[in-house]
A = this chain, B = another copy of it.
């Protein structure tokens, strides 16, 4: 297994992309996908992945029956003489957004205790909801011609020990990438050695994948421009454009140069973030950056996200780019 992984490393994964739950689902409506955003995200992903000249035609890979139709849509008659598009290696991980959240919080799946009927039922219900979302995202990407393969962490043998990743079959993920597919993983309910069960978040999955697959860069697509020094809805909120991460994992804002001390920035970030959302995200991103992998946090379905996905920011960051870069700095 280790051999397979080192092999896949040498063939270089270009990018791991997180599709944030807030970007691809409608926050205020249960189990509702943000179709417009998802369509643009799929299109931008395809652009970013394509190497060389784009083929004249997108080969749609979702040949399912559409609602209200009794026919299957499959326009592949002239596929025989079509050149195969060269795609660089991407991995996609998505959050749950308005899927899974209700089921998980209603039953307390993250706290464990599978012997309780409500936790067991909630575990099943959570997995149904997040795998439903996974299928819809795989379909949206496949319609754009991206050869996506849905892979549930539970099925791939991911399990935790007190919420830390305890096992994960990365050899199947690596083989899937080597075969020219784009694995699409997701935050999932998993078994936990100590707690019985818990929720494995998409962010933790990303960190684990980044650690083992060593991509060139990681992109978090979200619903705001990036990380702010206070809730972005506040009029004086400042977008943090660059955060430097030290060898010890500590981080500080280097652009813009803030008048307040770093300690204060930490505080104000934490204050608006009782759910652990943005602070957790920065901590997870900092751990990835510590590996020497640039992390871009950017608003989905914008010109900024396209540039981040393309890898345009690797050498220098244009003045007009809006987003947050988190990178290692010795």
Chain A residues packing against B (C-beta within 8 Å): 29-31, 59-65, 70-72, 74, 76, 79-80, 82-85, 102-103, 106-107, 114-118, 120-125, 127-129, 131-132, 135, 138-139, 142, 147-152, 154-157, 159, 169, 171-172, 175-176, 179-181, 191, 196-197
Contact = CB atoms under 8 A, between A and B. Distances in A.
Contact of A83 (B76, B117, B152, B196): B117
Nearest to A126: B63
Contacts of A181: 120, 123-124
Contact of A63 (B102, B150, B154): B102
B117 A142 contact: no
A54 B63 CA distance: 43
A31 B139 CA distance: 15
Contact of A64 (B63, B76, B125): B125
Contact of A180 (B63, B114, B131, B132): B114
A172 B147 contact: no
Q: How many copies does the complex hold?
A: 2
Leading 4 A-B pairs by shortest Cβ distance: A155-B155, A63-B125, A61-B124, A79-B118
A59 B29 CA distance: 25
Nearest to A149: B127
A317 B116 CA distance: 38
Given A120-B180, A128-B138, A131-B150, A31 B156 contact: no
B191 A175 contact: yes
B107 A127 contact: no
A129 B175 contact: no
A306 B150 CA distance: 34
Nearest to A125: B63
A85 B120 CA distance: 11
A157 B154 contact: no
Nearest to A116: B84
Given A64-B132, A79-B118, A102-B63, A30 B72 contact: yes
A233 to B, nearest CB: 25
